[in-house]
Amino acid sequence: MRALLCALLFACPLLGQTVTRDPARGQFFVDGIVYEYAAATDCIVVAAVHSVLNHKFLAVKIRVYNASQHSFSVRPEDIVVEDAVGGRQLVATSAAELARRMRKPYNMARYAVNGIGGGPMDTTITSDMVAPLLSMMKEMAERTNSNAATVNSLLYTDLPGTLDDNGANAAPAECDQVCRLRNGEGQGKDALTQLQRQTSAESVEQYALLANTIPPRANVGGVLYFPLGKLSEAREQGKKTRGVRVTVPVLGDNFRFELPVE
């Protein structure tokens, strides 16, 4: 009896704890930027970082997928970004505040922003530019016509269905989880890629991660901004390195990432 009581006393603290398995992890690349993900039963979190706005700010991109049957909320203020070298928490600059700074005339060159917030002006097309192009196209057409008299095109066949044997019409390989995550980040304009180029204050606000409620089978993504000058540097094999630790709390679990800063 005493042994049973001792066993119960030992087990009670364990019963009060929430035990979760480590999420499955992996990485993929979009436009040369490494993305890391952590997949749990009810959600998937994707994270990536890169220096932006003329290397003045660090953009931390977060996307959360809801794989559960219930809605849940994500708040940017709950996400913790730490200096991996200095061991201290970084303080984010809101997208609204950063956009306000960018709209000041004396900051436009500093953040590599066009004066009117738009893209580069269209180049006027002149006859001098068109003539060489037309000449090159004419030469290519003549070369193609002369070769067609003696040699079939590589994609040409006299027998319908001949290409089927070579697998040209074979069903594409199934897109796995990593493939779908990569496609999700690569579709359209990637925020980290766009923010490295000349951009506008409006784009900074557009890409910002905002508090949101994610319904089942949906996702929410966006960017958090941090002053890059506050990040500590380490020297490894003669090369300076920087990095951040990103913690994203979702449904009571903390998804942590160690990401190098380029």
pLDDT in tens, 117-174: 444 333 344 455 445 545 555 555 555 455 444 444 333 333 333 334 444 455 556 7
pLDDT in tens, 227-242: 998 888 888 777 888 9
How far, in Å, CA of 46 to CA of 181, rounded?
A: 8
Q: How confident is the model at residue 105 (pLDDT cuts 50, 70, 90)?
A: confident
pLDDT at 199: 75
**Who has greater pLDDT, 194 or 189?**
194
Long-range contacts of 51-54 (CB under 8 A, 24+ apart): 51/196, 51/228, 51/261, 51/262, 52/192, 52/195, 52/196, 53/98, 53/102, 53/111, 53/112, 53/113, 53/195, 53/199, 53/204, 54/110, 54/111, 54/112
Query: Structural domain boundaries of the chain?
Result: 21-119+175-260
Which residue, chain included where needed, has tokens 């067609």?
A: 148
pLDDT at 198: 64
- To the nearest whole percent, how much of the chain has pLDDT over 90? 45
Q: How confident is the model at residue 55 (pLDDT cuts 50, 70, 90)?
A: confident
0.75 cut: is pTM over it?
Answer: no
